[in-house]
Structure 1
Amino acid sequence: MVGVERVAGAFTEHLMLTYASLFLSIVVGIPLAVLSLKSKRVASIIMGFANLVQAIPSFAVVAIVVPLLGIGFTPAVFAIFLRALLPIVKNTYVGLNEVNEAMIDAARGIGLTEWEIIRYVRFPHAYPAMFAGIKFAAVLANSIAILTAIIGSGGLGSLVFEGLASFNTDKIIAGSLPAILMAVFIDLSFSYMERRFIPKGIGGG
């Protein structure tokens, strides 16, 4: 039997891992998506890098981080951040880029600057795609956070790996069940926020 305090502590570490890396992915990913609007060349470079990182297996990403940053919480956050970046960059870019050109021309016609067009025209129409990307990134971060236990991040993954190493079913369940419940919570909470904050009719172009 695994103590409640041990599970609670591991869950807190897992929560911090997931949301710290997700926050970092949002802070970096959305500006990169906006920067991608500057030109097709810039977009191809940024998307190419994001796709390359996403193509690397999760275990390999975690392993590569160790020689660069060592082991522990911070390297784990960086590894999760790399894996969660693509959905946010790609979905935000698609949402920003697929606004009807007639609306863009009309906005320019009334004197809006490019930044004002991004803020008041492109972003509102990109919200559904952005939310979808962030929600997927959050679920992905939650799953990768389990894997980063192999580099000393702690969290629920430490219980899972300890359980696997010792054939301890209680530890495996104590580590995996909260992670599963958290994934369900992430999906439901982001779906609620999407319905709550995105006006009906937005996203249709």
Structure 2
Amino acid sequence: MVSIEVIMGNTYDHLILISITLVASIAISIPLAFASLYSRFIANFVIRFANLAQAVPSLAVIAIVVPLLGIGFTPALVAILLRALLPIIKNTYIGLSNIDPALVDYARGVGMSEWQIHRYIRLPNAYPAIFAGIKFAAILVNSVAILTAYIGSGGLGELIFEGLISFNNEKIFAGAIPAILIALIIDVGFTALEKRLMPFKYKNTD
């Protein structure tokens, strides 16, 4: 039987991994999306790279990372990060660029700086798209973090793989059930947070 202490310890490791990866992916993706607004070259490069990273299967990404970085927490973080970049970059870029050019021209005409245009015009209009990208990335990060246990990241995936290898259903469930609960909590939590921060999106659906 798997002890509660083991399950809690692996859950903690899993949460640390996905939290750091999600924060890192947001910190990388959003500035890249903003930079893409000012350079067609950067936009094409970023979107193509993100699409390429997303097109490659998760296990293949992990297999490519291992020869380059080895095994352990850091290689796992990089592998998960490559999977999480696309939804945030693409949604943020689409949200920021899908603004009426006349509105931006008007803002410049009344003397607003680029920073003010981003803060008061682009970002408020892009919030729903950005939030959707982050929410999808969070769910994706949780699932890929299970696979990275194969290269020594620890967490709930470690229990699942140990259970699969030893045909131990208790270990499989001990890892799978918390992972499923985390995915549900992410979905429900992000939806609740979105309703709180962007009530205008739901005012016609309640």
Residue 19 of structure 1 corresponds to 19
Q: Distance in 1 between matches of 2:110 and 2:25?
A: 34
Residue 154 of structure 1 corresponds to 154
After superposing on structure 2, the runs of 4+ consecutive aligned residues of structure 1 that deviate more than 3 Å are none
Q: Distance in 1 between matches of 2:64 and 2:115?
A: 37
Q: Distance in 1 between matches of 2:160 and 2:201?
A: 44
Residue 128 of structure 2 corresponds to 128
Q: Distance in 2 between matches of 1:32 and 1:55?
A: 20
CA deviation after TM superposition for structure 1 residue 201, in Å: 5.8
Residue 41 of structure 1 corresponds to 41
CA deviation after TM superposition for structure 1 residue 130, in Å: 0.4
Q: Distance in 2 between matches of 1:90 and 1:24?
A: 16
CA deviation after TM superposition for structure 1 residue 21, in Å: 0.4
Q: Which consecutive unaligned segments of at least 5 residues does structure 2 have? A: none
Superposed CA deviations along residues 154-184 of structure 1, whole A, max 9, x for unmatched, are 0000000000001111000000000000000
CA deviation after TM superposition for structure 1 residue 115, in Å: 2.5
Q: Which consecutive unaligned segments of at least 5 residues does structure 1 have? A: none
Aligned pair count? 202
CA deviation after TM superposition for structure 1 residue 188, in Å: 0.7
Q: Distance in 2 between matches of 1:201 and 1:20?
A: 29
Helix, strand or coil: the match of 2:112? coil
Matched AA of 2:120:
Y
Give the CA RMSD over aligned residues: 1.2
Q: Distance in 2 between matches of 1:71 and 1:6?
A: 22
Q: Distance in 1 between matches of 2:201 and 2:177?
A: 37
Matched AA of 2:56:
I
Q: Distance in 1 between matches of 2:75 and 2:120?
A: 37
Residue 163 of structure 2 corresponds to 163
Q: Distance in 2 between matches of 1:64 and 1:161?
A: 20
Residue 86 of structure 2 corresponds to 86
Q: Distance in 2 between matches of 1:201 and 1:77?
A: 33
TM-score, scaled to structure 1:
0.95
Counting aligned pairs with the same residue, the percent is 59
Alpha-carbon contact 2:195-2:201 (below 8 Å) kept: no
Please say if 1:187 is aligned against 2:190.
Answer: no
Q: Distance in 1 between matches of 2:112 and 2:48?
A: 31
CA deviation after TM superposition for structure 1 residue 194, in Å: 0.8
Residue 196 of structure 2 corresponds to 196
TM-score, scaled to structure 2:
0.95
CA deviation after TM superposition for structure 1 residue 76, in Å: 0.7
